[in-house]
Amino acid sequence: MGLRRMATAVLVGSAAIWTAPSTANAQLPACDAAKTPVAYFSGLPDQLITGRDHVFRVLDRDDGSGFVNGDVHVVMSENGVPYWSGTIGEFDLENQRLFIRSDPGDSPLTVTASYPEYRMDTVYPEPAECQRVLAKTMSATAGRAQRPLWVRGHFDEGQFILRTRRSCRTSYAPDPVAVSVRARGRRRWARVGTADQCEGWAGRASGRHFRLHQLGGDPQTLLFVPRTPRRNGSEDFQFRITRATVSESGHVSTGRTLRRGAFRVITHHWPRERVYAYNPDGSVNDRYWNYCVNGGKTVRMHNGNPYCIDPALTVRRVKLLR
C-alpha cells in the first residue's frame, strides 16, 4: 500500500504513526446517527481500482444544517489496523486532497474521518456540538480494460490519442502504456509513457528530426511533431506502442508490443525569393502586382527595378503508413 497526502497536504508516508483524536473532541457526545452529517467524502468510489490512486477530499455540505467546528482527523486502515493518519484544518478542507490506493493482495480498505460538528437544528437542552465519525470501507477490483489507442496523421503532425471515457477513473484499470518513435534506420527510440491512461501522457522526448509532447491543454493526446530539414523530400519514422512500467521518477520501461507502424513525412520547401516588377526581358511581372502591391508588402529597389521579398516557406505533411 502506498498512501500519501496530495497537493497542499503534507507527505506523511504509508507507515505513518496513528494518533488518536484530541481529548477535547473525545469528550463530546456522539452525533445523532439519524441526522445527515455536515461533512462528506468527495471522490471516494464504492470500489477501488487496483493500482490506481483515487484522490479524495473531506468537504463541508454547507447546507445550513451545521458546520465542521474543528480539525478533521483522517485514518486509513486495513482489517481494522490503521496504517496512515493525518489532520486537516477546519478552514482548509477545500484545499486539502488525499489519495488512497489498493495494491494487489490488499484486503478491503477503510477511510475514517472524525471531527467536532456544530448542529443548527438542535433543541435545548440537547447539546449543539457533537463528535461525528464518517467511515467508508471499499473493496478492490481489477477494473475494465482500456480501449486501444487511436493513431492518426493529422496535417503536419501525428497524434497518439488515449481513448478514455468519462467513467475512466472509476471503472478502468490503470493499464500503463508507452509510445516509442525513431527515424527509420536509427537505433535510438524517443519514448513517452503514461502510468495511468486516465491521467494522460507524462513528459516529452525528442529524436532525430522530431519531437514528442502533449497537445496543449489536452493530456490525452501525444503529438509527433516532425522537424525534417528544409528541403524537398520524404522521411519515414517508425513507432511502436507497448505495455509499460513507469517509475515515480518518470523512467519508462517497455514490455509487450501492442502495435507497430510508421509515419511518412513529406517536406516541401520554397526558398526566399525576390519578386521583381519587371522580368529580365522587360515585360511586366503580374505576380509583383498581385503579391507585392496588392498584398501590401515592403517594396525595395534594385537597379531601377522594384521588388519585394517572398520569404522562405517549409510545409510538412504527415501520413500514417500503417
- Grid cell, residue 293, equals 502591391
Rounded to whole angstroms, how far apart are CA atoms 142 and 242? 20
Residue 250: what pLDDT?
Answer: 65
Residues 6+ apart with CB under 8 A from 123: none
Per the CB < 8 A criterion, the answer to whether 174 and 51 are in contact is yes
> Which residue do the cell numbers 490503470 mark?
174
One-letter amino acid for residue 188 of the chain: R
3-state DSSP assignment of residue 303: coil
Residue 21: what pLDDT?
Answer: 43
Q: How far from 307 is each of 281, 287, 296, CA to CA, in Å?
A: 16, 11, 12
Residue 125: what pLDDT?
Answer: 80
3-state DSSP assignment of residue 234: strand
3-state DSSP assignment of residue 299: coil
Question: Please, is 29 exposed, middle or buried when counting C-beta atoms within 10 Å of its C-beta (0-12, 13-18, 19+)?
Answer: exposed
Residue 19 CB neighbour total at 10 angstroms: 12
Cis peptide before 125 (omega within 30 of 0): yes
Consecutive sets of 10 residues in the chain, 322 residues long: mean pLDDT of each?
A: 37 35 64 95 95 94 94 96 95 94 95 96 87 97 93 97 89 93 96 92 95 93 97 97 80 88 98 97 97 97 97 98 88
Residue 221: what pLDDT?
Answer: 97
Residue ranges and CATH numbers for the domains of the chain are 4-141 (2.60.40.1930), 144-322 (no CATH)
Beta bridge partners of 313: 270
